[in-house]
């Protein structure tokens, strides 16, 4: 019997053994292994005795002698759960990571490992032969430990992003082949919550959902062929909200190209000051003008990658998560802090389904303020508040248009502002849409990744330039029904929120006051015939500037 146990142990070890023929430049930190139960080769990184600090940031660079056929650059994941990994650090044990490669063959080679700003390993930097295509991949991940001191030396700016950054070096240019798949029509999407999902399905991958670039044939739009996606009528919905996607480019006749990402610089850096905000709409109702619209991060630590950016705790302190609480917590929508007891979200987030006008009872709703890790209910800085009541705008018809798709939640108990919880500034000045056309807005939410996982662990930010209603309507006929004179469209080619981020704010940065101002709320987007968000089309936002009187009435009387 003892021999049998030894044999089983040896077989288990062989499943996780070194891959023959693959050499590691620093085997004490990195090695190739076979994933247990499969024939897949993955990479394993071991950081021995990591420091007990609040942020543990790993950056890995790889080189692949091939061109990737898709936008899948691989994944860098903790080998254990976040909780077990944190426990290992606190107990002085090694921290393990797994790298899932984009291709099974050829395998990439390691070029460098950085951990909290220190170089642990340097590998071969060979660029290959004359005809060789080299794809450089950088994968990053940050583990946050609550109640721990800050690192002695912050990682430099390039260590903040968890999205892979591919770079191709080719000695001879190659011509891309463009295919034209037949388009079978588009599906309008009313961004109502989808079916309930188990929290256990949550995966903490944090890579934007992406698709290979391709051009598509343009088909004649037919309103009768478009359907609205909606949940079953007999279930409380669970939202697939907060999906950041990247997908193929597509232009229609008479359509102006959407702005490219390289037309815009990185996110502005708000400077902390004690000047009062010139936003008269925020003068009352416990909305402290010295707090509103100011990020708790004074450094620009986000670099523009893949048309989206990873965020940091406290960077967008007005962002909240709305949950339906029955026998479990189910993420419903995002929202925005208006005062210490009022939260703004989309009206459709409080409907049980699209067909009826039934609403969700307020006593099953909970708002998580200061939340960074979506399901980090014990996260430092987060506060959960029950919803006492809510008000949906009386003009909202829960039908096609995004007009008046707003709701204000009243918290049962007020909250105190802190580093992670602050209100947004309401819009001030002109409400004319033409005054903000071409300005870039920022939308933040917990996004779906390209592997189909429902959420990412941390919120992401997308930059979305605002366009005129005329441009929006010309770009796609369906927007005529989706929009009104109290909505606007925004988006950037190949990125944006989809089927989600419902209820999230679009904010603009005011260079005069160094604050962010609330201008829009995510309401509607468009699906293609594959029921995948078509991000070559704009997203429809409720124009909050057109509803300031109603918002002030609500926060002053409830």
Q: What pTM was computed for the model? A: 0.53
Cα(240)–Cα(462) distance, integer angstroms: 17
User: Could you report the per-residue pLDDT of 473-489, keeping only the tens digit for each?
Assistant: 998 888 999 999 999 99
Q: Is the pLDDT of residue 64 over 80?
A: yes
Q: Is the pLDDT of residue 279 over 80?
A: no
Q: What is the CATH number of the domain that holds 530?
A: 2.40.10.10
Q: Is the pLDDT of residue 227 over 90?
A: no
Which among 144, 179, 200 is the end of a domain?
Answer: 144
Q: What is the mean pLDDT of the chain?
A: 71
CA-wise closest residue to 187 among 153, 219, 161, 233: 219
Range with the lowest mean pLDDT among 24-28, 52-56, 249-253? 249-253
356 or 291, which is more confident: 291
Number of structural domains (the chain) is: 3
Strand, helix or coil at 372?
coil
Range with the lowest mean pLDDT among 17-21, 56-60, 251-255, 318-322? 251-255
Segment 1-24 mean pLDDT = 48
Cα(460)–Cα(443) distance, integer angstroms: 8
Q: Is residue 180 part of a domain?
A: no
Residues 475 and 370 both lie in one domain = no
Residues 456 and 366 both lie in one domain = no
Q: Is the pLDDT of residue 323 over 50?
A: yes
Given this model, what pLDDT does residue 407 score? Answer: 97
Q: Is the pLDDT of residue 355 over 60?
A: yes
Q: Is the pLDDT of residue 497 over 80?
A: no
Q: What is the DSSP letter of 384?
A: E
Cα(230)–Cα(351) distance, integer angstroms: 11
Percent of the chain with pLDDT over 90: 32
pLDDT band at 528 (very low <50, low <70, confident <90, very high): low
Residues 139 and 35 both lie in one domain = yes
User: Could you report the per-residue pLDDT of 166-225, keeping only the tens digit for each?
Assistant: 433 332 222 222 222 222 333 333 333 333 333 333 333 322 233 333 322 222 333 333
Q: Is residue 283 part of a domain?
A: no
Residues 466 and 395 both lie in one domain = no
**Count of beta carbons in the 10 Å neighbourhood of residue 205:** 20
Given this model, what pLDDT does residue 21 score? Answer: 47
Residues 58 and 140 both lie in one domain = yes
Residues 397 and 461 both lie in one domain = no
Residues 380 and 320 both lie in one domain = yes
Given this model, what pLDDT does residue 502 score? Answer: 84
Cα(475)–Cα(496) distance, integer angstroms: 16
Q: What is the DSSP letter of 50?
A: -
Segment 45-56 mean pLDDT = 90
Given this model, what pLDDT does residue 441 score? Answer: 93
459 or 131, which is more confident: 459
Given this model, what pLDDT does residue 492 score? Answer: 75
Q: Is residue 553 part of a domain?
A: no
User: Could you report the per-residue pLDDT of 85-116, keeping only the tens digit for each?
Assistant: 988 998 899 999 999 998 888 888 898 999 98
Given this model, what pLDDT does residue 9 score? Answer: 43
Residues 403 and 441 both lie in one domain = no
Which among 144, 173, 207 is the end of a domain?
Answer: 144
Given this model, what pLDDT does residue 347 score? Answer: 93
Cβ burial of 384 (10 Å; 0-12, 13-18, 19+) is middle
Q: Is residue 476 part of a domain?
A: yes
Residues 52 and 109 both lie in one domain = yes
Which among 119, 144, 169 is the end of a domain?
Answer: 144
pLDDT band at 142 (very low <50, low <70, confident <90, very high): confident
Range with the lowest mean pLDDT among 110-114, 128-132, 287-291, 372-376? 128-132
Q: Is residue 525 part of a domain?
A: yes
Given this model, what pLDDT does residue 465 score? Answer: 92
Torsion of CA 102, 105, 110, 114, to 10 degrees: 10
Range with the lowest mean pLDDT among 42-46, 95-99, 525-529? 525-529
Cα(414)–Cα(38) distance, integer angstroms: 51
Cα(552)–Cα(284) distance, integer angstroms: 9
Residues 397 and 448 both lie in one domain = no
User: Could you report the per-residue pLDDT of 399-435, keeping only the tens digit for each?
Assistant: 788 999 999 999 999 999 998 999 999 999 899 999 9
| Residues linked to residue 305 through DSSP beta bridges, in sequence order | 308
**Count of beta carbons in the 10 Å neighbourhood of residue 6:** 10
Residues 444 and 380 both lie in one domain = no
Q: Is residue 441 part of a domain?
A: yes
pLDDT winner (highest mean) among 214-218, 282-286, 351-355: 351-355
Domain that holds residue 67: 30-144
H/E run at residue 90: helix 82-90
Q: Is residue 388 part of a domain?
A: yes
Give the contacts of 8 (CB within 8 A, at least 6 positions apart): none
Region for 522 from its dihedrals, namely left if φ exceeds 0, alpha if ψ lies in -120 to 50, beta otherwise:
beta
Q: Is residue 398 part of a domain?
A: yes
Residues 323 and 406 both lie in one domain = yes
């Amino acid at each position: 019997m003892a021999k049998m146990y030894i044999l089983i142990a040896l077989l288990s070890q062989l499943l996780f053994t070194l891959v023959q023929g693959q050499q590691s430049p620093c085997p004490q930190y990195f090695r190739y292994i076979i994933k247990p139960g499969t024939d897949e080769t993955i990479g394993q990184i071991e950081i021995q005795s990591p420091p007990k600090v609040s942020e543990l940031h790993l950056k890995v660079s790889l080189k692949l002698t091939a061109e990737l056929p898709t936008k899948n650059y691989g994944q860098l994941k903790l080998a254990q759960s976040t909780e077990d990994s944190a426990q290992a650090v606190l107990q002085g044990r090694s921290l393990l990571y797994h790298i899932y490669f984009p291709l099974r063959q050829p395998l990439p080679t390691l070029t460098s490992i950085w951990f909290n700003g220190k170089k642990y390993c340097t590998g071969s930097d060979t660029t290959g032969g004359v005809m060789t295509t080299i794809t450089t991949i950088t994968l990053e991940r940050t583990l946050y430990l609550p109640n721990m001191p800050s690192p002695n030396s912050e990682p430099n700016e390039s260590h903040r992003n968890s999205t892979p950054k591919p770079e191709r070096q080719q000695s001879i240019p190659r011509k891309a082949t463009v295919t034209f798949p037949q388009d079978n029509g588009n599906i309008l999407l009313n961004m109502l919550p989808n079916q309930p999902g188990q929290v256990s399905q949550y995966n903490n991958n944090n890579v934007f959902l992406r698709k290979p670039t391709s051009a598509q044939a343009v088909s004649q739009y037919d309103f009768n062929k478009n359907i609205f996606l909606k949940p079953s009528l007999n279930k409380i919905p669970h939202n697939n909200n907060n999906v950041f996607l990247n997908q193929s480019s597509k232009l229609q006749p008479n359509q102006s190209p959407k702005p490219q990402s390289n037309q815009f610089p990185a996110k502005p850096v708000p400077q902390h000051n004690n000047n009062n905000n010139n936003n008269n709409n925020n003068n009352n109702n416990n909305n402290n003008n010295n707090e509103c619209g100011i990020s708790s991060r004074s450094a620009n630590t986000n670099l523009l990658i893949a048309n989206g950016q990873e965020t940091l705790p406290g960077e967008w302190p007005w962002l909240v998560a709305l949950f339906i609480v029955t026998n479990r917590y189910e993420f419903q929508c995002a929202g925005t802090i208006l005062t210490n007891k009022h939260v703004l979200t989309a009206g459709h987030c409080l409907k049980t389904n699209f067909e009826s006008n039934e609403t969700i009872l307020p006593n099953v709703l909970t708002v998580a303020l200061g939340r960074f890790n979506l399901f980090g209910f014990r996260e430092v800085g987060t506060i959960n508040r029950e919803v006492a009541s809510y008000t949906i705008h009386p003009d909202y018809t829960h039908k096609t248009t995004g007009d008046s798709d707003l709701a204000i939640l009243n918290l049962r108990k007020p909250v105190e502002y802190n580093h992670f919880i602050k209100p947004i500034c309401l819009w001030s000045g002109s409400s004319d849409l033409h005054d903000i056309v071409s300005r870039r807005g920022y939308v933040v939410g917990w996004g779906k990744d390209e592997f189909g996982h429902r959420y990412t662990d941390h919120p992401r930010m997308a930059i979305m330039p605002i366009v005129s209603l005329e441009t929006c309507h010309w770009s796609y006929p369906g927007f005529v029904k989706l929009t009104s004179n109290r909505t606007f469209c925004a988006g950037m080619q190949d990125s944006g929120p989809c089927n989600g981020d419902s209820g999230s704010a679009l904010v603009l940065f005011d260079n005069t006051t160094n604050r962010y101002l609330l201008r829009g709320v995510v309401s509607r987007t468009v699906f293609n015939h594959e029921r995948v968000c078509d991000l070559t089309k704009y997203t429809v936002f409720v124009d909050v500037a057109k509803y300031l009187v109603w918002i002030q009435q609500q926060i002053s009387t409830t």
